Amino acid sequence: MTAQVTEATLAKADPSEEVLLEIRGLEKSFGGVRAVSDVSMDLRAGIVTTLVGPNGAGKTTFFNLITGHLARSGGTVRWLGRDIGGMKPYRIARLGIARTFQDLRLFNDMTVEENILTVMEPGALPFSVSGPSAKEKREKVARVMERTGLADKARTRAVDLAYAERKFLSMARIMAAEARLWLLDEPASGLDPNSYATFLRLLREEVAAGVTVCIIEHNLDIVVGISDRIAFLDRGRLLADGDPKSVLEDPELTRIYFGDRA
């Protein structure tokens, strides 16, 4: 049954785009549990890929394997043709892969301004030898705060922000990081309708500006609204990978995702 599903909806992403991330046979086992099992996937420049699947399907684990936060048990991950498996997370980040976290992980005791500024300064030296000047950095921070609606909260500590503001700060950080590939872990969960609309607009603008996005999302409006492609994970396996319509209309996947109620 699984084989049929996969064949019916296998990836037909535009092959003309450059492959940023090439994942082949990715595996991760925790003890006896296979959290990610033989997943192969290409993330192409400019394509928004949404990862869907029930809780515990291995979506976040998949992100952690890409960013180096977890060591893979098998398979390869290539960034622009270069094997990045086994590299430390900070090195992978510096290649141009940035991520958000489901539980945000903001720099809580730092102000909004500092949270954004610090992601632009990955180096260890107290002064920067190269890179943008202090003025350029300040301007960029201001721009990002403006776009995420945080301009009047510049001096507020992250921990004192309201929930939606915290979600936007998480987005602001990734916007400031100048990455080519964004891995977003449920960036819109828990947002009220207004914030949600703002979030969608932001994401569309960023995609239009050339960012490649892979997003974990449960909200089907997002899934359908902005995805070029949907990858369906269940119990660590990639069951389907294709355009949104064909994946969502597959009755077998619907049954797995919604349970027997559907």
Partner 1 sequence: MEAYLLNLGVLVSIYAILAVTLNFIMGYAGIFSLAHAVFFGVGAYVGAQMAMHVSASLFVTIPAAMVVAALLSLALALPALRVRGEYFVAASLGLQMLAITVFSEWKGATGGIGGLVGIPAVRMFGEDIYRPAAFFPLAAAVAVLVLIVTRLLVHSSFGRSLTAIRDSESAAESFGKNIALIKTISVVVSAALAAVAGVLYANYLSFINVESFTLNTSVLVMAMVIIGGTGTALGPVVGAALLLILPGLLSYLWFLPQTEIGAIQQIIYGLGMAVLMIFRPGGLVGRSAGARKRRKRDALKAAAGQSEARKMEGAK
Which residues sit at the interface with partner 1, rule CB under 8 A? 55, 67, 69, 88-90, 93-94, 98-99, 101-110, 114-115, 117-119, 121-128, 157, 159-160, 163, 166, 173, 177, 186, 189-190, 218-220, 257-259, 261-262
Integer Cα distance of 77 and 177 in angstroms: 22
13 or 247: whose CB is closer to partner 1? 247
Beta strands (DSSP E) in the chain are: 19-30, 33-44, 48-52, 74-79, 82-83, 97-99, 181-185, 212-216, 229-234, 237-242
- Element (DSSP H or E) covering residue 140: helix 134-147
40 or 111: whose CB is closer to partner 1? 111
In which region does residue 166 sit, left (phi positive, over 0), alpha (psi from -120 to 50) or beta (all else)?
A: alpha
Find the shortest distance in angstroms from Cβ 259 to partner 1.
Answer: 7
HSE value, Cβ hemisphere, 13 Å, CA-based, for 31: 1
Integer Cα distance of 23 and 64 in angstroms: 13
Find the shortest distance in angstroms from Cβ 169 to partner 1.
Answer: 11
Residue 135 backbone phi and psi in degrees, to 5: -65, -45
40 or 107: whose CB is closer to partner 1? 107
79 or 257: whose CB is closer to partner 1? 257
| Sequence-distant (≥ 6) Cβ neighbours of residue 249 within 8 angstroms | none
10 or 220: whose CB is closer to partner 1? 220
**Sheet containing 212-216, strands listed edge to edge, beginning at the edge strand earlier in sequence:** 97-99, 181-185, 212-216, 48-52, 229-234, 237-242
56 or 74: whose CB is closer to partner 1? 56
Find the shortest distance in angstroms from Cβ 11 to partner 1.
Answer: 24
Find the shortest distance in angstroms from Cβ 109 to partner 1.
Answer: 6
Find the shortest distance in angstroms from Cβ 78 to partner 1.
Answer: 19
Find the shortest distance in angstroms from Cβ 252 to partner 1.
Answer: 17
